[in-house]
Amino acid sequence: MANGPNPAAVVTAIVAKDVRQRLRDGSFLVFGLLLPLGVAFFFNMLLGGDAQQRTGSTYAVVNGDDGTLGENLVDGMLRPLDEDGVLDLVVVDSEDGAREAVEDGDADAAFLIPEDFSRSLDSGEEAVLTVVGDAESPVAAYIAQEIGRAYATEHHRITLTVASAFDTEPDPEAAALLLEEAESARAPLTVAENDGLDTRQLDTATYYSASMAYFFVLFAAMFNVTSIFEERANGTLARMLASPIPRWTILTAKLSSGLLIGLVNMAVLALATTLLFGAEWGHPLGVAALVLTGVLAIVGLTAAVAGFASGSEQAANWLSVLAMLLGAFGGALFPISQLNELAVVSYLTPHRWFLEGLTDLSAGGLSAVLVPCAVLLGLGLVGTAVALLRMGRMVKS
């Protein structure tokens, strides 16, 4: 008696057919590459990088003060911000030059320190620090205003502290000397970053590159899962069932093609976002483990949900809703912290565990991904088991 077809060969043939179909209909290119890259690029442009990067804003300053307080403002507050990479500071010689720099787009905002700045502050009179902002850079202008307010608040605090040191009306010269010493004194407590420590936080480029890549994997898997309904409708499934091949190989092949396409998408996106956006995914072995188990979880869940649908259109609708819910509650669309009390729901989503695994990997060794990978693997196996039971009814008879 002749042996039947090799199951491995059957699975390989079906997977190859599905991959070719995804390449022809453009779903692999659109949902697997263009949309994730486009959305990640949009978020990177919108949010402008992480807190350790420069703001990209340039501030001009003209110090016309004939006293010392204007110099304190420039050297004590603005220049340290420039040295720390918070902003780019440009010193100009005149108010007209500062205003012209803002109008020409060479500066986003400008600080105009008047000639009587120190005299007004020392005498308790109203001192005016003018901030000129570019209408097309409202955020930079707002930051400049807040810097000015912060300096005024600090000067007022020091003035009150000096005044409280005298029991009687102080000598003006003594008070001025004490005020100058207080303003030049070092703060008793400073906050500094230790660049030598590992930070358990993904930067903006990595966070949105990884979250968008994983978010759109579900759509890539969806087309492979729903294709079984289409093949049943056009008679392809009936022809496969009529051939002497084990029926379980059909479902295995469908899940395998979704897994393969998802893995290829994630690998290409990881490489592309690293080169284009400077994303730092982490140790390759840890990333590979998270991607493998993460895609398995997505494929299993999509197949399980589709198994309860009655047709391709219904399955696609359900999976589209599922994608948005998992993305919203899993932290792919916005940080989980914004969910407040609902943040506990995120532990039910594979997105939460995938992103948490990358976060842990950024600060720890490979062992940091063991728990996230275990959870993702469990979700994938449970989803696959449900899918095989539910979708198995489609290949019976």
Side-chain-side CA neighbours of 171 within 13 Å: the count stands at: 4
Domains of the chain: 11-49+203-395 (no CATH), 58-184 (3.40.1710)
pLDDT higher for 225 or 108?
A: 108
| pLDDT tens string 314-349 | 888 999 899 999 999 998 888 887 888 888 998 999
Q: What is the pLDDT of residue 198?
A: 54
Q: What is the pLDDT of residue 159?
A: 64
Q: What is the pLDDT of residue 205?
A: 86
Enter the pTM of the model: 0.65
Q: Are strands 130-133 and 109-113 parallel, antiparallel or unpaired?
A: antiparallel
How far is CA 162 from each of CA 96, 175, 222, 391, rounded to the nearest angstrom? Answer: 37, 7, 69, 79
With the CA atoms of 269, 48, 356 and 263 taken in that order, what torsion angle do they form, in degrees rounded to the nearest 10?
-10
User: Which candidate, 321, 322, 360, 355, places its Cα nearest to that of 337?
Assistant: 355
Considering only 45-54, 258-267, 366-375, 383-392, which range has the smallest mean pLDDT? 45-54
Q: What is the pLDDT of residue 163?
A: 59
| pLDDT tens string 226-275 | 777 777 777 777 677 667 677 777 778 888 888 898 899 999 999 999 99
Q: What is the pLDDT of residue 156?
A: 67
Q: How far apart are alpha carbons 114 and 116 in whole angstroms?
A: 6
Q: What is the pLDDT of residue 176?
A: 59
Q: What is the pLDDT of residue 199?
A: 57
Residue 100, both tokens: 């012209």
Q: How confident is the model at residue 1 (pLDDT cuts 50, 70, 90)?
A: very low
